[in-house]
Structure 1
């Protein structure tokens, strides 16, 4: 399409208006957009974890797609590792414009259906900022904390009610927007015992007002409508953490709570198995909690115990195979092991085995366009560490499965040096082989090319101590 973006908006609106009078074919929606600094040349559209289509961008990085036989609700569009949801209802003609370097923050909708989607994306961004406040509020006493988050919920509810009246919103939108508020509020309640200072979680639970968790009696832990909804899924994870904590404290002899307790983590899987009947939700939670534990544990025996528990409960054969490969990769990265042979590509498109670079104490860390703030933060941090530890080599690897152009563009636009910057030749295989989960994973190697720590973190208070240990070996 050789039209300007403004003309693109007008055309899409006219298409929606023209079809508006055709009652025989009203169950459709248009979705289109323009992507600045695209990471590849396509967008993937899906709903309920089922891919609807892969849509090619034109030569101006735009697309326009008609969904016929629309199943109204939340749809997901995926581009270059980033995911965002849109609400589509009959006769919507929705387009967006975004910049991949600031994905969520740059996302703006226009066209028929824009008001409700701009409302939802603004709520999403506000909740990200509010989360930091919530974590600070968690240090307050329970009754004070409850007043604070009750007040936040009230403000959000009033704002939503005003929006509903002004734009005469649909029942579907109202349900999703209210779910936003409710499940964000419930999550704030569920995280309190964990974020509140102190390791005596039993005492914290006893200090809570008797009605603190009254809303739980009305929760559907198997809601099919909300199963793909981010706030609902986040709530389920927080709630399982909390309910499992209560069960764990009944039989635990541990003096203080630890996320790494194998007993607690087994309690979590057992709770998921008994509480959740929806196969999709159960398998997702089992996978999340198991991979989270394995990615942070260096105890092979405990890893095997939790893995076996997961395998006995999950019904998802693909997830089970993936988890077994993940556990195997972690075992191959044990302390004292040689770093696996891995082909990387430098900024001149030259291929080399990473082991050819490991001639001194080395730190290997990773980044992805999906986590742009982390990308910036690790580069700032490494700049400081290079001055402090000149004898250490720092290798920074982009994990995205796209071409060199986007990798180098991100470095250029943020004025980062190309030195020590690489990509994987085969990203998907390498990410799995090195068990890169989460993206903050950092690997420390000694001068003998042996792994000292395969699961460090540049921002951990223990990182420099771990690095000094590798230097002095």
Structure 2
């Protein structure tokens, strides 16, 4: 085993040396960069590179050794992303970079390591990303602190990370652009936590107390750049903007309503206020259109009447200037229209564990919950199956169908099922994942569809993790039983 590891190390070192020499031999062209890498346990053979605008720049195929090498001409410095098997990773590219990465899909983020010219800055970027991820998981705990204590904690943590970055720069000569990216990552991650805080601390029923937060709690808002185009597809920036808009709309709600008014995050008034705020604050079309799309989608995808959803769609269409987004939203509306309660389940083909194709509707013989999972999120697919196991013990008169939404090679899907001993008789994947996700409006992984024994929809958008899901399911089954008797 040790000899094998040494062999693998030497092989990768040789590849990197060849890669670097090849890049250098091309000359010092200021608008060219190279990116290459090796993927261990690939989910398929495709790699997609997205440009700084989040648009597909190129798609290429892994070779027989699961490697690739790509030259980018006319490089626009900025944040690119690499996608493979439904997962993606940001890469910061600047002129003359020649970056190689190596990762194992079984631990996509944790195993990722960059080498070559431009590697240090990307390894540091990965480090800050993983740190943000760990902090986000602890936010519910942090957010139970009193406002002053929480404010001090977040600020102390932010300054500590900025000081750590300054120490890194003392020993590494990096560009001002890279410095601005890391500082934005640190700052906007902290600001996002503060925007989320009132929703986590007060909860929906007591959000009126947002007016009691310390006067300087949101002082940083004067420094916010709503048009930072170079951050338009950067997670920490968008995370901040999403919750910031929610927060500003909350203030707008209480400006128009008495402070004792009951707050409803799904109300048309509150959600229209979000679109108004985006339209007034953001000038950059990429950022504005993205925010408008996702905020409108949140409302439209919820269990509103068709008239309410259409009203919000029309309100969105008046403000968006992105034709591609508008088409997407109109298609979403059409899909949701077919998923109304009482409609038959759309005709989709699924593939079972034994590679047999069948119509999804044909495997439904009694009231059924159809739930979905992705191979890319271990906690999600484990939790969903554990939750369903619990539900099975309570509702033994129901079937549960598990559907994987990925278009990866079947081997990857089956390995997860084997590893966790999921019952293979209930496991399926879509034959055409992209079409199925659009048809079923699968924008959220926690979504489940409940149907009766004939395959007609009882609930198109249930959440099995909701604290009141058992009550909802019992009521639906009782209602369906009474309807059958009649």
Tell me if TM exceeds 0.5.
yes
Q: How does 1:321-470 map to 2 (within 5 A)?
A: 321-470=327-476
Q: CA deviation at 1:209?
A: 1.6
Cα gap change, 1:167/1:378 in structure 2, threshold over 3 Å: closer, same or farther?
A: same
Checking the alignment, whether the CA contact within 8 Å between 1:260 and 1:297 is kept in structure 2 is: no
Pairing 1:300–2:306 present: yes
With normalisation by structure 1, the TM-score equals 0.93
Q: CA deviation at 1:5?
A: 5.9
Match of 2:3 in 1: none
Distance 1:379 1:205 in 2: 37
SS of 2:401's equivalent?
A: strand
SS of 2:236's equivalent?
A: helix
Match of 1:96 in 2: 101
Q: CA deviation at 1:421?
A: 0.8
Deviates more, 1:260-269 or 1:291-300: 291-300
Cα gap change, 1:198/1:12 in structure 2, threshold over 3 Å: closer, same or farther?
A: closer
Pairing 1:36–2:20 present: no
Q: How does 1:107-122 map to 2 (within 5 A)?
A: 107-122=112-127
Distance 2:265 2:387 in 1: 27
2:244 to 225, 239, 246: 239
Q: CA deviation at 1:321?
A: 1.7
Deviates more, 1:174-183 or 1:298-307: 298-307
Checking the alignment, whether the CA contact within 8 Å between 1:443 and 1:454 is kept in structure 2 is: yes
SS of 1:58's equivalent?
A: coil
Checking the alignment, whether the CA contact within 8 Å between 2:23 and 2:34 is kept in structure 1 is: no
Cα gap change, 1:199/1:10 in structure 2, threshold over 3 Å: closer, same or farther?
A: same
* Count of residue pairs the alignment pairs up: 471
Checking the alignment, whether the CA contact within 8 Å between 2:253 and 2:270 is kept in structure 1 is: yes
Distance 1:71 1:21 in 2: 21
Please tell me the root mean square deviation across aligned C-alpha atoms, in Å: 2.2
Match of 1:25 in 2: 29
Cα gap change, 1:99/1:413 in structure 2, threshold over 3 Å: closer, same or farther?
A: farther
Pairing 1:275–2:275 present: no
With normalisation by structure 2, the TM-score equals 0.91
Distance 1:22 1:304 in 2: 55
SS of 1:225's equivalent?
A: helix
Distance 1:22 1:324 in 2: 47
Distance 2:31 2:438 in 1: 42
Q: How does 1:17-96 map to 2 (within 5 A)?
A: 24-25=28-29, 27-47=31-51, 48-96=53-101
Distance 1:198 1:464 in 2: 22
Distance 1:321 1:308 in 2: 13
Deviates more, 1:247-256 or 1:362-371: 247-256
Cα gap change, 1:67/1:466 in structure 2, threshold over 3 Å: closer, same or farther?
A: same
SS of 1:175's equivalent?
A: helix
Q: Can you give the 5+ residue segments of structure 1 that lack an aligned partner in the other structure? A: none
Distance 2:26 2:364 in 1: 67
Deviates more, 1:200-209 or 1:153-162: 200-209
Distance 1:220 1:420 in 2: 49
Match of 1:12 in 2: 16
Distance 1:394 1:228 in 2: 36
Checking the alignment, whether the CA contact within 8 Å between 2:33 and 2:94 is kept in structure 1 is: yes
Match of 2:200 in 1: 195
- How far does the alpha carbon of each residue in 1:143-201 deviate from its partner, in whole angstroms, 9 at most, with x for none? 11111111111221121111111223221221111111111111122112221124355
Cα gap change, 1:18/1:232 in structure 2, threshold over 3 Å: closer, same or farther?
A: same
Deviates more, 1:49-58 or 1:276-285: 49-58
Distance 2:359 2:22 in 1: 58
Q: CA deviation at 1:39?
A: 1.9
Checking the alignment, whether the CA contact within 8 Å between 1:366 and 1:399 is kept in structure 2 is: yes
Distance 1:338 1:209 in 2: 52
Checking the alignment, whether the CA contact within 8 Å between 1:222 and 1:277 is kept in structure 2 is: yes
Cα gap change, 1:73/1:456 in structure 2, threshold over 3 Å: closer, same or farther?
A: same
Checking the alignment, whether the CA contact within 8 Å between 1:9 and 1:95 is kept in structure 2 is: no
Q: CA deviation at 1:376?
A: 1.9
Q: How does 1:220-231 map to 2 (within 5 A)?
A: 220-231=225-236
Pairing 1:154–2:155 present: no
Checking the alignment, whether the CA contact within 8 Å between 2:202 and 2:209 is kept in structure 1 is: no
Q: Can you give the 5+ residue segments of structure 2 that lack an aligned partner in the other structure? A: 1-6, 482-486
SS of 2:417's equivalent?
A: helix
Deviates more, 1:195-204 or 1:122-131: 195-204
SS of 1:222's equivalent?
A: coil
Distance 2:463 2:230 in 1: 37
